[in-house]
Structure 1
Amino acid sequence: MTTGERVARYEAALASARIAERPVAVCDLDAFDANADDLVRRASGVPVRIPSKSLRVRALLERALARPGFRGVLAYTLAEALWLCEGGIDDILVAYPTVDRDALARLARDERAREQIAIMVDETAQLDLVEDAVRAALPRGASIRTVLELDAAYAPLRRLRFGALRSPVADAPAAVALAREIARRPAQRLIGRMAYEGQIAGVGDGARGPYGLAVRTMQALSARELAERRAAVVAAVREVADLELVNAGGTGSVERSAGEEAVTEIAAGSGLLGPALFDGYRAFSPQPALWLGFPVVRRPGPGVATLLGGGWIVSGVPGRDRLPVIAHPAGFAYAPQEAAGEVQTPVLGPAADALRVGSTVWLRPAKAGESAEHAPVYRLVAGDRVVDEAPTYRGEGRFFL
């Protein structure tokens, strides 16, 4: 299906449902479900855990979790995990360390939450803070489920590093030392290990020329090194504690991570929505499932149309790849001196002359989850109809970061 055909279907569905609001966020459930099937196929039987930050819409989390092949959520804050747990979602791993003492005390007091939520640690200072925060609230004999994060970056030379700056734990001796420290603390219980290989999962490998070749070479070398190191760490830590889970991956590295014997589950969620950053991958092509419609409110001159809003810019190293992609009509570019603005976004191109005040220009987000911080609801389209609306976290009045 072409972009024009997709957009025509969304516009007809919105018009039929008498939804005139703009900006509007549309989630294509047919594309979402197809992407879910493809993630499961790529994982080859290894369960897929959904990073909640890639969706930030409970209805979409629940839709994916109801499908075979998906199991559990990778949350981004403990407060969010507690909220999801209260809403009935099980098996939640918080992907980042927490220093939220109030949330830790709530976790300690809630028996169901203690059974369903695990927190992330990677150094002793975090263990000390957790222990202090839960001391008064944790029942005798109870413990907080804890997961240890391994640094997954590739550092072939002393001053050459590829990957996110995350955990200080990079090898088996460091992992074992922290595992033993956890074992000495009755308030905490080590149940898993996680590593996120962002230099593979989050970097497109489809570019041509020397840059693309360099990326593919780095990723191949990194994957080989990490598989060996991850296996060694898991084997060593299992001598200290029984591990229920070994989490790995990301949407861009599902096949590679699923092929490692030590890995028990894959983290992948952005691929459900197919944002523009995944247009540059060779091994898979998710369908674009999230579309953002912005209204034309000005016509400053020939070849120019100005949108209300449009600056839903995503996090990361600032650059053009953090901007939404102008998807339809074709042939537009951002104004060099303005790009995508919070309140207005001029778009340039011959197609502007066919637009009128009130027309809609459709954008695709660069990343999957951050549009939910702007839109209160996603309009859910299946076939040629709007079948429902789903509030985002913000639409439910929730703000976790």
Structure 2
Amino acid sequence: MTESRYARYKKAFAGVPKPFAFLDLDLLRENIKNIRDRSRGKNVRIASKSIRSVPVLRLILESGEPFRGVMCYSPLEALFLAEQGFDDLLVAYPAWEKKHLRAIAARVKAGKEITLMVDSPPHVDRLEQVGREQEVCLPVCLDLDVSVSLPGLHFGVHRSPLSTRDSFLETAKKIRDAKHLRLDGIMGYEAQVAGVGDRVPGQVIKNGLIRLLKKHSISRTARIRKEWTAALGELGLSPRFINGGGTGSLAETAREDVVTEVTVGSGFYSPVLFDHYRSFRYQPAAGFALEVTRHPRPGIYTCAGGGYIASGAAGADRLPRPYLPAGARLTTLEGAGEVQTPLRLEEGELSLGDPIFFRHAKAGELCEHFNELWVISDGKPIDRYPTYRGMGACFL
């Protein structure tokens, strides 16, 4: 199967100058179907940071229910997507720069649905000031902390400071009392479930511990979301949406009655970091190709470029992984290099100019290195989709 896919890809991309990024539309559509099935009828908001291509965002949204709305990672990105005709945009991280906030406020005043994230009284005060200046009521989303803190262990990410019911409700009251803000939604991102693999090769004991922590976290997060949302009702607040989840926790979060929408991003492209989950496996729909330019010794082939390292805590899991032909692997000493990447290939032979297909460790960061995605379907190139970079856009 993999070797035949290598042959198909090599034939489909013959003549395309390397390096290049690609998108297998057939595999993307398979992932879209699987995500739809796992969402249990909940609305699915697309995490744009994992996509970073306007045509791909449109394709997913135009595939119909339950895909609705975009979760942006920057206020400037939200403004960019608004200019492209997108609506129902949720900025997932708090913004502070007033120039950006004023631009968002102007768009909201003109009729665009853009929701800003807050997680503390200073955020509320700043947005209230901008709303007053621009004479507009800004929709905001309240981000609650659902990480798990145990003695000597923090299981989750350091995001919102709203880790207690009292601090959450205090900030909610401040929004309620503001004249130029309205509570549009609440969000709780269980990153410790959605973004942590529990079937990593060679880590049997750690995998077992992570599964126990995930089970505890899923139950705890569901309880917090239910109780804190009910408490908002007692304050007279009824948010339009309750957002949760991620690719790795989609099925679990979708079971919660209180949740109205789940967010998915990485599952559409399915990068390497999402190979190591027990409960699901999506298809590797996106990647990049390098060109073999050297053959220094038997079993070693060297490609031009390739140092597309993913963000996060530095480690081998942040490296791109050779995908096709089967059996290719990075060398321990050089890894993926800025100007060259050597590979070991124990079986088979390659020629100078042959492609090596890689998968990025994460999803959307791939698009920061390329201006376009070469799109294939049924083994044939059918289009070229611009990335954000290809449209001259860079937000972080």
Aligned to 2:216: 221
**SS of aligned partner of 1:310:** coil
Q: Is 2:153 aligned against 1:147?
A: no
Does the 8 Å CA contact 1:192/1:246 hold for their aligned counterparts? yes
2:103 to 102, 106, 115: 106
After superposition, the C-alpha distances for 1:87-132 in whole angstroms (9 at most, x for unaligned) are 1111110100001211211122234665410000001112222233
For residues 108 and 161 of structure 2, what CA distance do their matches in structure 1 show? Answer: 31
Please list, as runs of the form range in 1=range in 2, the aligned pairs for 1:26-41 lying within 5 A after superposition: 26-41=22-37
SS at match of 2:275: helix
Q: TM-score by structure 2 length?
A: 0.95
Aligned to 2:90: 93
CA contact (8 A) 2:197 2:277 kept: yes
> What corresponds to 2:6 in structure 1?
7
In the alignment, the residues of structure 2 paired with residue 279 and residue 326 of structure 1 have an alpha-carbon distance, to the nearest angstrom, of: 14
- Give ranges in structure 2 of 5+ residues lacking alignment: none
Give the secondary structure class of the aligned counterpart of 2:197. coil
Task: Describe the shift of the 1:186–1:148 C-alpha distance in structure 2 as closer, same or farther (beyond 3 A).
Answer: same
TM-fit CA distance, 1:310: 1.1
- Deviations, residues 153-197 of structure 1 (Å, cap 9, x unaligned): 012x24321001000001322111001111222121111100111
Q: Distance in 1 between matches of 2:27 and 2:272?
A: 14
2:190 corresponds in structure 1 to 197
Match of 2:292, SS?
strand
Question: Secondary structure at 1:297's aligned position in 2?
Answer: strand
1:164 aligns with 2:157: yes
The unaligned stretches of length 5 or more in structure 1 are none
SS at match of 2:332: coil
Partner of 1:273: 269
* 2:256 matched residue in structure 1: 260
Partner of residue 315 from structure 1, selected from 307, 311, 316: 311
Q: Is the 8 A contact 1:172 1:237 kept in 2?
A: no
Q: Equivalences for 1:2-401 in 2 at 5 Å?
A: 2-15=1-14, 19-67=15-63, 68-111=65-108, 115-136=112-133, 138-139=134-135, 142-155=136-149, 157-207=150-200, 209-240=204-235, 241-351=237-347, 354-401=349-396
Q: One-letter code of the match for 1:200? A: V
Provide the rounded CA distance (Å) in 1 between the counterparts of 2:110 and 2:293. Answer: 48
- Paired with 1:222 and 1:388, the residues of 2 have a C-alpha distance of 43
**Equivalent residues of 1:304, 1:346 under 8 A apart:** yes
| C-alpha distance 82-161 of structure 1, shift in aligned 2 (>3 A) | same
Residue deviations 1:343-381, cap 9 Å, x none? 111112334x72222111111111111000001000111
Given that 2:131 and 2:137 are in contact with CA atoms closer than 8 Å, whether structure 1 keeps it comes out as no
Shift of 1:322: 0.7
Question: Partners in 2 of 1:109 and 1:253 — Cα distance?
Answer: 35
RMSD value over aligned CA atoms? 1.5
TM-score by length of 1: 0.94
Would the aligned equivalents of 2:141 and 2:187 in 1 still touch at CA under 8 Å? Answer: yes
CA distance in 2, matches of 1:62, 1:171: 38
Change (3 A) 1:49 1:123: same
Q: How high is the sequence identity, in percent, across the aligned residues?
A: 39
Q: Matched residue of 1:110: which SS?
A: helix
CA shift at 1:83, angstroms?
A: 1.0
Q: What is the distance in 2 between the residues matched to 1:118 and 1:29? A: 31
State the number of aligned residues: 392
Contact 1:49–1:73 (CA under 8 A) maintained in structure 2: yes
Letter in structure 1 aligned against 2:89: I
Q: Distance in 2 between matches of 1:90 and 1:30?
A: 27
Alpha-carbon distance in structure 2 between the residues aligned to 1:283 and 1:65: 25
Q: Tell me the SS of whatever aligns to 2:205.
A: helix
Contact 2:246–2:262 (CA under 8 A) maintained in structure 1: yes
Q: 1:182-229 deviations in whole A, cap 9, x for unaligned?
A: 122212111110011111011112246222211111100111111111
- Contact 1:107–1:114 (8 Å) recurs in 2: no
